[in-house]
Structure 1
Amino acid sequence: MQEQWELGGAAGMSARQISGLTGAPVSSIYHHFGSLEHLFLRSQQACIAAARQWGEEQLRQFDGFAPSPHAFAGFFAQIVDAWCEQRRPLAFAWRECQLLAQQSPLFREPAEQWSQVWERFWDEAARRFGLGDGTLVVRRVFENESFLHMIRWRRMVDRAALDETARSLSAWLTGTAMPVAPWREYAREEALCSMPTLPDRDDTAARIVDAAARIIDEEGLARLTHRAVADRGGLTLGTVSHKFRTKSALLEAAFEGLYRANVERLQPETAPRGDLADDLAGMLRRGGNARGSDELFLATARDPGLSQFGAQLRYLRGRTSRSTLQDLVGEHRTVGVTEAALFSSFLTSQLRIYARAQTDTVRPIRAELTILTRLVQRVSAT
């Protein structure tokens, strides 16, 4: 069952498909688990236990070593890479659980258990490395960077760029100067030069693309049907079916719409100068979250047919948040593209984590931003 989280995810699994994979009749699935949702829940519990065990194994590997904060970068990069490559089905299970928790209360507890697995892991690792307040920042950056690293573009470049990201994070933690990042700079230029050419759409097709993207963003991939798109776009079912004849074509259209929205957000602009914690909490109150992007990230990580989006999703982050970070840093040094991408990861993780919060989020978001601000302000200019 673990492998199915990577191959198709919850939206791609059915009782009949699982029956074919396991050799058990469909009736047995419902007899033993009651529903497909409860089978998913049992699988999630097994994946959480496996992830907890994996984390304990990683920590045991450097028993007896006396690390310092300056040794942390190599450890962080290795954990991200090993998790995304060696335990890839578990990595997909975690992200699928985050999405399921947004649509079903049944998965809120396992989503919280996933958070606890990583919180305990990074608390223990940070204790050994002596990271202090930086522990919180590490947890947030890992939460997002380990998602992005699931997207495969060019293996050698991705791994080298991950090392540079880890060294930049280490500069935050230690107050040392930001390192050079030639691999990330190269990847960023390649991403800019290789932006996919999206098809020109007539007005009707454009409405369908927009409606399909909004359905995934607001309701999830499982809700995407021709009829749902027709209702959302104010069109007839026949019109939608004529423009995009298959479910696969409709899915590609939806991801095209999500990708367009991501690219628009990535365009450089002057960031708002309001209170950042209030801005983020306000986005959450208005229903803003990372769901549509997360669906796109998972699909791109899962489907080689969407790999043309990979470089842009991984390496064009931080262009809109760079000026905000520069304000936090002050005038004593200039924020570069790698540090801006790191800041973007931190903020995106906050949106994803606090989207599940049942209470006001301004106070915890502001507390986290205060910790981050102290770190970035002490980074050396040289």
Structure 2
Amino acid sequence: MHDKSAPMSEAHNSSKDRIIDTVLQLWEEVGSTGLSVRMLSQTAAVPVSSIYHHFGSLEQLFVVAQEHACACATAWRDRHLHDLKGARMDRQAFGPLLAALIDDWAYQERRLAFAAREGQKLAFRSPHFQAAMARWNTIWTELWHEVCPRFGLENSAMLTARLFESESFLHMIRWRRVVDRAGLEEFARGWAVWLEGRPVPAAPHRDFARAEALREFPALPERDDTASRIAQAAAAIVSQRGTAALTHRAVAAEAGLTLGIVSHKFRTIAELMGAAFEALYLRNVSIEEKGGSDSLWSLNGVVGALERSASNFGPEELLLAVARDPSLRHFAAQLRYLRGRTSGPQLQAIFGPSRTVSPLEAALFSGFLSGQLRTHQAKPSDLFRSHVRQELEQLLGLVMPRGAVSQ
């Protein structure tokens, strides 16, 4: 409750700031698709009327909250740039710094990290958030355009911004803190070496994590045909409309079943949500294990595959859910350390026989592609393809054996 002796303007600002802070809190805890005005009112301890008075609508409140989060992220970036003022180092020093910045963002600024992810989702679904998405991209682009030249990596700033975008997301997923941090260091050092066109060094912590991820592969429950059909329908709804749209009635309509059957198989929304994420996880694993058609094993194939993935938010919802919910932690190691099972063979086909792609190289390529996808996801198809291809050609020009490109 406000101090009655405080000026009216201070009380006004305090209420408005508290509402914005609560949005950031709930973006971290439940996400934008599950956030309502009533939930905001209860969590912030303000009347519903106060929310509409300050912001006019929930969408406008989200716009203002994104602006606030971007301002905080800009301040975070500028603090770290100030720490590096005057620094000039060789490329060997770049990996530890990249790892330190990813770790600091994903752990120390976790709330802002979730705000950035929600901004991406909002931008894809509404043009009102395109400006915020562009500002997030600018924050990271400017960061690495300032940092990379200090390490002799002037031509790699944009590429590093893409990798940072992706790896900072995966680092939000918590598995085993010590292993995660050591594996991140190996990943970042590998990126610095890779940009010189050299094979990446050994990564024993990541190799251990990959082995553990395979050993701890979650034993998902066996489901009958009807339950599997319901799980697939739930996964489709989460992919297309987000977790907030997941209801028993919506799943029944999607699956072509009665509400009674769906409610009998999955009695609570939590059970239905778990089934949806299991289906999304199995779908991703199946795609990675099968690989794809021969057309994927070329530069054009990679661009086309990314474009086809641009409208599928299922993997993003799964990653965010695992980052938020400790009860889904059994997916964490697999999502963090088993990636690259499709992108690795893609890269090998592009490289040709002159160099064998290592698991770390496959993970680096996967991370770069994921960063591209999220950065350009909301753009029109022609711009998406153009930007993705240009960046891919720039990366491959640095890392691949000379003269070994497959269009």
Asked if 1 retains the 8 angstrom alpha-carbon contact of 2:298 and 2:350, the reply is no
Q: Does 1:352 align with 2:397?
A: no
Q: Does 1:329 align with 2:351?
A: yes
Which residues of 2 match residues 297-312 of structure 1 at below 5 A?
297-312=319-334
Which of 314, 317, 333 lines up with 2:339 in the alignment? 317
Amino acid at match of 1:307: R
Q: Does 1:26 align with 2:67?
A: no
Deviates more, 1:234-243 or 1:7-16: 7-16
Q: Does 1:376 align with 2:366?
A: no
Asked if 2 retains the 8 angstrom alpha-carbon contact of 1:213 and 1:255, the reply is yes
Cα pair distance change 1:216/1:277, threshold 3 Å: farther
Cα pair distance change 1:52/1:276, threshold 3 Å: farther
Cα pair distance change 1:270/1:4, threshold 3 Å: closer
Please give the alpha-carbon distance, in whole angstroms, between the structure 2 residues aligned to 1:194 and 1:368.
36
Asked if 2 retains the 8 angstrom alpha-carbon contact of 1:140 and 1:346, the reply is yes
Please give the alpha-carbon distance, in whole angstroms, between the structure 2 residues aligned to 1:271 and 1:136.
30
Question: Is the partner of 2:85 in helix, strand or coil?
Answer: coil
Q: Give the unaligned 5+ runs of structure 2.
A: 1-20, 403-407
Asked if 1 retains the 8 angstrom alpha-carbon contact of 2:295 and 2:301, the reply is no
Question: Is the partner of 2:294 in helix, strand or coil?
Answer: coil
Q: Does 1:89 align with 2:111?
A: yes
Which of 241, 245, 263 lines up with 2:267 in the alignment? 245
Which residues of 2 match residues 188-267 of structure 1 at below 5 A?
188-267=210-289
* 1:178-198 superposed Cα distances (whole Å, 9 cap, x missing partner): 111000000000000111111
Please give the alpha-carbon distance, in whole angstroms, between the structure 1 residues aligned to 2:159 and 2:290.
25
Aligned to 1:183: 205
- The alpha carbon displacement at 1:109 in A equals 1.7
Q: Does 1:12 align with 2:53?
A: no
Aligned to 2:388: 365
Q: Does 1:127 align with 2:149?
A: yes
Aligned to 1:70: 92
Alignment length (residue pairs): 379
Question: Is the partner of 2:50 in helix, strand or coil?
Answer: helix
Instruction: Tell me which of the two structures has the higher relative contact order, counting C-alpha pairs closer than 8 angstroms and 6 or more residues apart.
Output: 1
Asked if 2 retains the 8 angstrom alpha-carbon contact of 1:151 and 1:301, the reply is yes
Asked if 1 retains the 8 angstrom alpha-carbon contact of 2:103 and 2:181, the reply is yes
Question: Is the partner of 1:10 in helix, strand or coil?
Answer: coil
Which residues of 2 match residues 27-42 of structure 1 at below 5 A?
27-42=49-64
- The alpha carbon displacement at 1:49 in A equals 0.3
Scaled by the length of structure 1, what TM-score is found? 0.94
Please give the alpha-carbon distance, in whole angstroms, between the structure 2 residues aligned to 1:113 and 1:128.
24
- The alpha carbon displacement at 1:200 in A equals 0.9
* 1:206-232 superposed Cα distances (whole Å, 9 cap, x missing partner): 111001101111222222121111111
Question: Is the partner of 1:180 in helix, strand or coil?
Answer: coil
Amino acid at match of 2:54: H
Deviates more, 1:108-117 or 1:89-98: 108-117
Asked if 2 retains the 8 angstrom alpha-carbon contact of 1:41 and 1:107, the reply is yes
* 1:82-121 superposed Cα distances (whole Å, 9 cap, x missing partner): 0000000000000011112222222222111111111111
Q: Give the unaligned 5+ runs of structure 1.
A: none
Asked if 2 retains the 8 angstrom alpha-carbon contact of 1:283 and 1:289, the reply is no
Asked if 2 retains the 8 angstrom alpha-carbon contact of 1:70 and 1:174, the reply is no
Cα pair distance change 1:283/1:273, threshold 3 Å: closer
Amino acid at match of 1:130: G
Amino acid at match of 1:138: T
Which residues of 2 match residues 90-169 of structure 1 at below 5 A?
90-169=112-191
Amino acid at match of 1:78: A
Asked if 2 retains the 8 angstrom alpha-carbon contact of 1:266 and 1:316, the reply is no
Please give the alpha-carbon distance, in whole angstroms, between the structure 2 residues aligned to 1:269 and 1:281.
15
| Identical-residue share of aligned pairs (%) | 48
Question: Is the partner of 1:174 in helix, strand or coil?
Answer: coil
Question: Is the partner of 1:178 in helix, strand or coil?
Answer: coil
Scaled by the length of structure 2, what TM-score is found? 0.88
* 1:15-55 superposed Cα distances (whole Å, 9 cap, x missing partner): 22222222210111122212222212211110000001100
- The alpha carbon displacement at 1:275 in A equals 6.7
Asked if 2 retains the 8 angstrom alpha-carbon contact of 1:215 and 1:223, the reply is yes
Cα pair distance change 1:8/1:145, threshold 3 Å: same
Please give the alpha-carbon distance, in whole angstroms, between the structure 2 residues aligned to 1:76 and 1:333.
26
Asked if 2 retains the 8 angstrom alpha-carbon contact of 1:73 and 1:167, the reply is yes
* 1:129-173 superposed Cα distances (whole Å, 9 cap, x missing partner): 221322222111111111100000000000000000001101122
Which of 279, 286, 289 lines up with 2:301 in the alignment? 279
Please give the alpha-carbon distance, in whole angstroms, between the structure 1 residues aligned to 2:309 and 2:97.
36
Asked if 1 retains the 8 angstrom alpha-carbon contact of 2:299 and 2:350, the reply is no
- Work out which of the two has the higher radius of gyration on C-alpha atoms and give 1 or 2: 2
